[in-house]
Structure 1
Amino acid sequence: MQFYQLSAKDWAKTLIIGLVAAAVTAATMQGLLRAGISPLPEPLGLAFARLLLGDVPLPVGLLFHTVWNVAFVAFFVVMFGDSLSFGRATALAAALWGLVLVVFFPIVGWGFFGLAITPKLIVAAGGIHLLFAIVLWGGCRIAFGTSVPGAAAQ
């Protein structure tokens, strides 16, 4: 396993990609919730924040969501700097989707795979993770091309 050392400029690009990914996925989820299309009872980041902190407003949940997104974008760039491919972005998104289904949904009381709410949560979570993969890959293509230029493996 290699970790790629990033320059300050590359870290800034990574942060921007993470913020864009967080904004696009959060806006999509919020739009679907407000339109009554999403089967989620509330945004997962908000549900998790409320579990940890009590009754908090939506911005706190969005902060949890943003930190999570930025962290995994950074993980992606540092781990896969030699090949920032769509396949790798999709694999990461699929792993995160699995983590949500078997860890975070049960933690917030939605049950394993979200089945305590509805089986539709499986597809809804999958769709938003696919969107994350697309934004992650597209952002990396724009910022770095197919790999981080000059990234040195440690």
Structure 2
Amino acid sequence: MKWVKAIVAGLVAGLVMFIVLAVGTKTGMAPINVPPSAAFLAATTGIQSPPLAGLLHFAYAALGSVLLVALFGRRTNILKGIGLALVLWLILMVIYSPIIGWGFFGAGGLNHQLPPTSPLYIGPAGMYVLITLVLHAIYGLIVGWMDQVWIDWTERSGADPDQSENLASH
């Protein structure tokens, strides 16, 4: 059951990220026109499918939460969630952004020269770095908190909860 709860926590955190970014792109506050998952999909496959990009985004979000639980187990907390989110953000900045054409940390990519109406356009690098960092911090805060308080860490297949606590302290 802990894995299901970890997946749900990731999906909730992913939904919050998605909503905040959607508001940012619709209001022009975000320096990008589409979420990184949609841009990555378009840049690598040529497919422009919001539903498929959304599925990709939520799969990443769920996987991140499962990874947090797998790495830290009962030691999962908000700080570890934010730490994992920062690692995921660095992967976005160093691997995914250059592949998309947005450059390392949103700087120097070819897509800076696209018209602002292009789906793969990216605006100022500083704003991109800030917005994506804040979004990832929100994600980490949510999964770290939800995984910590929502998962029953005493749950073991048939094990006595008191015994589980004793095992964890050794």
TM range (shorter): 0.7 to 0.9
1:42 is paired with a residue whose SS is: coil
**Structure 2: unaligned runs, 5 residues or longer:** 109-121, 157-163
Offset, 1:72: 1.0
Offset, 1:24: 1.1
**Structure 1: unaligned runs, 5 residues or longer:** 1-8
2:73 is paired with a residue whose SS is: coil
Q: Determine if the alignment matches structure 1 residue 104 to structure 2 residue 87.
A: no
Offset, 1:110: 0.2
Read off the aligned partner of 1:130 and give its amino acid letter.
A
Offset, 1:150: 4.2
Paired position in structure 2 for 1:5 = none
Q: Which has the higher contact order (CA 8 A, sep 6+)?
A: 1
Offset, 1:15: 1.6
Paired position in structure 1 for 2:17 = 25
Contact 1:102–1:112 under 8 Å retained in 2: yes
- Higher mean alpha-carbon deviation, 125-134 vs 49-58, is at 49-58
Contact 1:90–1:130 under 8 Å retained in 2: yes
Paired position in structure 1 for 2:130 = 123
Answer with 1 or 2: which has the greater Rg.
Answer: 2
Paired position in structure 2 for 1:149 = 154
Paired position in structure 1 for 2:57 = 65
Offset, 1:76: 0.4
Read off the aligned partner of 1:109 and give its amino acid letter.
G
After superposition, the C-alpha distances for 1:38-63 in whole angstroms (9 at most, x for unaligned) are 11232100001112331322111111
Contact 2:77–2:145 under 8 Å retained in 1: no
Offset, 1:28: 1.1
Aligned structure 1 segments of 4 or more residues deviating by more than 4 angstroms = 150-153
- The normalised TM-score by structure 1 is 0.85
Percent identity for Structure 1 against Structure 2: 24
CA distance in 2, matches of 1:69, 1:110: 21
Paired position in structure 2 for 1:75 = 67
RMSD: 1.8
- The normalised TM-score by structure 2 is 0.77
1:82 is paired with a residue whose SS is: helix
Contact 1:85–1:137 under 8 Å retained in 2: yes
Q: Determine if the alignment matches structure 1 residue 140 to structure 2 residue 147.
A: yes
Contact 2:79–2:141 under 8 Å retained in 1: no
Read off the aligned partner of 2:146 and give its amino acid letter.
G
Read off the aligned partner of 1:10 and give its amino acid letter.
K
Read off the aligned partner of 1:125 and give its amino acid letter.
T
CA distance in 2, matches of 1:135, 1:14: 11
